[in-house]
Structure 1
C-alpha cells in the first residue's frame, strides 16, 4: 500500500500531539513492512508522517518539489529533512529549480500520482495560497485518489 501525506504546517504543540497520535493510529493498522509512505518531508505533518512510517517498519519515498526546496524550509528543520531524505528508498524530483507555490503544487501532484490513498491533515478550509492543502485534496479528488482527512476535534490553525 502506498500512502501520501499533505497537511498544514505551523500547527500548535497541542494540535501536533493530536495529529501525531492520529497518524500513528492510521499507520500502525497496516502490516509491518507493507506500507510505503510518500512525502515531501516538510516540517509538520509531512515529516511526522514519514517518521511514523519508518518507526512502524514501512519505507518512505520522498518528493522534492524543487532544487531550492530545502532552503525554503525553516533552518531548524534541515537536520530532520536531511535525515529523512537519507532514509528514503526512492527520491522523486519535479525538475523545477525555484521553490515557489507552483513547484509545491507540482510536487503535490507528483505525490498524488504515486499513491493509492492521500492522508490530509486539513481543517476543511480553503487554501491560504496556491498549492495549499485544500488544493492538494481537490486535485486528489479530481484524479480519483482516495482521501482520508485527519483533523482533531476542536483544533484550530494559528
Structure 2
C-alpha cells in the first residue's frame, strides 16, 4: 500500500478548488483504496485531498501541527475539519501549542517522512512564510521523495 502525503496552498477560490479536486482525483484514481493519504486537513488543498482519499475508500491519517491548530483555521472550515479529523484512522499530534510556522514546518516534515510520495498543489512560487508549500516540497526533495506538482494551468494565487 502506497502512502501519499499532501502539501498545498490554502484559501483557494471555489473555482480553483473545484479544478484542484479534479486534478487530485485524476492523480489518485489509479491507486483506488490501495493507498493511505496523509494530510494536515487545512482549508484548501489539504482538505480537497483528504476528501478524495476518503471518497476512494482509502484510509486517511491526519497530522496536527499544534493543539491550537483548529482555532487558527478559518471558522468556516471548522465543520469540514472536524468531519475529516473524525474519519482519520490515525492522528499524529505534534507537541506544539501555537499554530505558527515552526509547528507547520514540523508537521510538513513528519508528513514527508511518513509518506512514500508527495502530492503538491503548488503554483511553483516561493513560500509566503516558513513552513509553506515550497518549503515542504524542498524537504521532500532533500529526502528524495517523489513529488508530483499539480496546479491548474493559467491560474494565479
Q: TM-score normalised by the shorter chain: which range applies? A: over 0.9
What are the within-5 Å matches in structure 2 for residues 34-113 of structure 1?
Answer: 34-113=34-113
Q: TM-score, normalised by structure 1?
A: 0.96
Q: Is the 8 A contact 2:127 2:134 kept in 1?
A: yes
Indicate the SS of the match to 1:135. Answer: helix
- 1:136 corresponds to: 136
Indicate the SS of the match to 1:118.
Answer: strand
44-53 vs 6-15, greater mean Cα deviation: 6-15
Aligned counterparts of 2:142 and 2:62: Cα–Cα separation in 1: 23
Deviations 1:13-72 (A, max 9, x none): 2221211100010111113x2110000000111001001001011110000000100000
Does the aligned pair in 1 maintain the 2:112–2:140 contact within 8 Å? yes
Decide whether the 8 Å contact of 2:70 with 2:78 is kept in 1: yes
Is there any run of 5+ residues in structure 1 with no aligned partner, and where?
Answer: none
Q: Which consecutive unaligned segments of at least 5 residues does structure 2 have?
A: none
Supply the RMSD in Å over aligned alpha carbons: 0.8
Deviations 1:103-139 (A, max 9, x none): 0000110110110010000011111111111001000
**SS in structure 2 of the partner of residue 95 of structure 1:** strand
2:64/2:91 contact within 8 Å kept: yes
1:94–1:110 Cα contact (<8 Å) kept: no
Cα distance in structure 2, aligned partners of 1:51 and 1:92 = 18
Q: TM-score, normalised by structure 2?
A: 0.97
Cα separation, 1, equivalents of 2:99 and 2:17: 25
Measured in 1, the distance between the counterparts of 2:4 and 2:63 equals 13
SS of the residue aligned with 1:71? helix
Count of aligned residue pairs for this structure pair = 156
Judge conservation of contact 1:5–1:49 (CA < 8 Å) in 2.
Answer: yes
Q: What is the distance in 2 between the residues matched to 1:86 and 1:103? A: 22
